[in-house]
Amino acid sequence: MRKEPLAIILTSDLAAKARGRAFRQQEFQKYLNSGCGWVPANLAIDAFGSIVTPNPFGAVGDLRLMPDVSSIATVALNETGEQTTLVLADIHTPDGQPWECDPRSFLKQAIADLQAETGLSIVASFEHEFMLLEDSGSPVNTPFSLEAFLEEEELGGRLMAALDDAGLEPEMWLPEFGRNQFEITLSPARALVAADRAVYLREITRHVASSLGKSITFSPIIEENGGGNGVHVHVSLRDKEGRFVTYDESRPSKLSDVAGSFAAGILKYAEAFQAVAASAPLSYERLAPHRWSAGGIFLGENNREAMLRICPLFNTPGANHQKQFNLEYRAADATSNPWLVLGCLIRAGLEGLRQQLPTPNIVSGDSDALTPTERDELGIRPVPATLTEALAHFESSIVATEWFARDLADTFLAVKRAEISRCEALEPADRYAAYAATY
């Protein structure tokens, strides 16, 4: 039986799922030029595949997935080496304009506004954690160990090869602290490229694992009081000449004045976009103190409890501190859309620049050792405790909701509140299992 090589046009939705349409590879150029049809209500598909109703669109309207040739990637389907071509799309209206609810266009507009107002651009990278769902039952965990590397060498080697073949520039693969947990990192890239790569990484990682007969999950937490999986977003700033401007050796913690204002904006609006960055009810079991995720809203140095962290520099031979210096946002996970997360970070940072906010207090050392009074004096705030609380912050923030088209904000709220209701009807074990399966 004959089999046609395929190409797939993709977008990523509010549940962080890559969805699209496929066609024969021999017709690739045709669809690059014309795109393919799409439906507004697809934006209201939740994490479990149901269209949430009511939504702003109903059965009305038509859209077009318009591929961006800069995002073309390939993935091998099997041992024969047969390649499937992937391409990410912007969503356009029938008159050829970007759809105001398109998550990718949301990021592109944030990038454009930052550049137009300040001359700055973003270099970013997304670090992802995931877990193998198979468990040997051993009471011993072996993070960072040679034993763990060798046991899953086939997965690690094939994953690095697949990501490299797709043009994602993988950097490192490593066993992490959680049981059967691994992390995969990619090289820094321009903001849109970095977020595109994050969309691809999740899907390619799942495919490589399943091709080896393994089940993995990016779910933020897979059992009560268990380990969690996060997504850490690293950002640095460049000026219009392409020079990195996050680093300033003369300033406290070497954070430049412009980067300090950018960081201050992220922290000022942190609660307002937290639901966008961690979009599942389970996310908030991970985002708690003492879990090395984001135990508080503050700018930290040498502290992995900080929502926003100044990454350390090391005087290795040939080190370029201007290029290496960056901020790490630690409160996202893989239930979030990478385009929306990075778009919100840029929007919040831009607000900090517009308002000329001063550099936040920089908390060094162990924040857990601080008294409540000291935490108040430093401006440390708690992360929203639930998705319901985070959605309330989002909905009540005049500034943050103005970043979003009204229909995009309303659909996001509808999808996430429906997800909360669904989760509340499940027993805890079923809830963990459902998220482990879907992510």
For 27-68, what is the HEC assignment? HHHHHHHHCEEECHHHHHECCCCCECCCCCCCCCCCEEEEEC
- Helix 153-165 and helix 191-211: axis angle, to 10°? 140
Is 239 inside a domain boundary?
yes
Could you tell me if residue 144 is inside a domain? yes
Same domain membership, residue 138 and residue 71: no
Residue type for position 128: H
d(CA 163, CA 353): 35
Range of the domain at 317: 106-438
The residue-averaged pLDDT of 6-19 equals: 96
Of 17-21, 146-150, 269-273, 283-287, least confident by mean pLDDT is: 146-150
pLDDT-derived band at 140, boundaries 50, 70, 90: low
Within a domain: 316: yes
Residue 340 resides in a domain: yes
Kindly state whether residues 263 and 397 are assigned to the same domain.
Answer: yes
Distance CA 112, CA 119 (A): 9
Q: Which residues pair with 238 in a beta bridge?
A: 121, 244
Query: Has residue 126 been placed in a domain?
Result: yes
Let me know whether 136 and 90 are in one domain.
no
- Give the whole-angstrom CA distance, residue 430 versus residue 217: 15
pLDDT in tens, 188-213: 999 999 999 999 999 999 999 999 99
Residue at a domain's end among 54, 77, 98: 98
Residue 137: per-residue pLDDT? 60
Q: How far is CA 104 from CA 127, 199, 265, 340, in A?
A: 19, 11, 22, 7
Q: How far is CA 16 from CA 40, 165, 387, in A?
A: 16, 23, 16
Look up the pTM and report it. 0.95
pLDDT at 291: 76
Q: What percent of the chain has pLDDT over 70?
A: 98
The strand ranges marked E within 179-289 are 181-186, 189-190, 216-217, 231-238
Same domain flag for 110 and 94? no
Same domain membership, residue 203 and residue 110? yes
Q: Write the CATH number for 349.
A: 3.30.590.10
For the chain, the domain total comes to: 2
Domain boundary among 82, 98, 114: 98
Which amino acid is residue 194, in one-letter code?
A
Looking at residue 332, what DSSP letter applies?
E
Model confidence at 139, pLDDT cuts 50, 70, 90, reads: low
Write down which residue in 69, 98, 127 finishes a domain. Answer: 98
Let me know whether 335 and 428 are in one domain. Answer: yes
Calculate ∠ Cα 167-100-89, nearest 5°: 25
DSSP letter for each residue of 397-415:
-HHHHHTS-HHHHHHHHHH
Task: Tell me the Ramachandran region of residue 43: left when phi exceeds 0, alpha when psi lies from -120 to 50, beta otherwise.
Answer: alpha
Same domain? 77 vs 117:
no
DSSP tag of 312: P
What CATH number does residue 84 fall under?
3.10.20.70
Q: Are residues 28 and 141 in the same domain?
A: no
Note whether residue 167 is domain-resident. yes
Q: State whether 120 and 89 are in the same domain.
A: no
DSSP assignment letter at 438: H
Question: How much is the average pLDDT of 142-156?
Answer: 87
Query: Looking at the structure, do residues 222 and 115 belong to the same domain, yes or no?
Result: yes
> Is 1 a member of any domain?
no
Residues 234 and 134 in one domain: yes
Residues 133 and 205 in one domain: yes
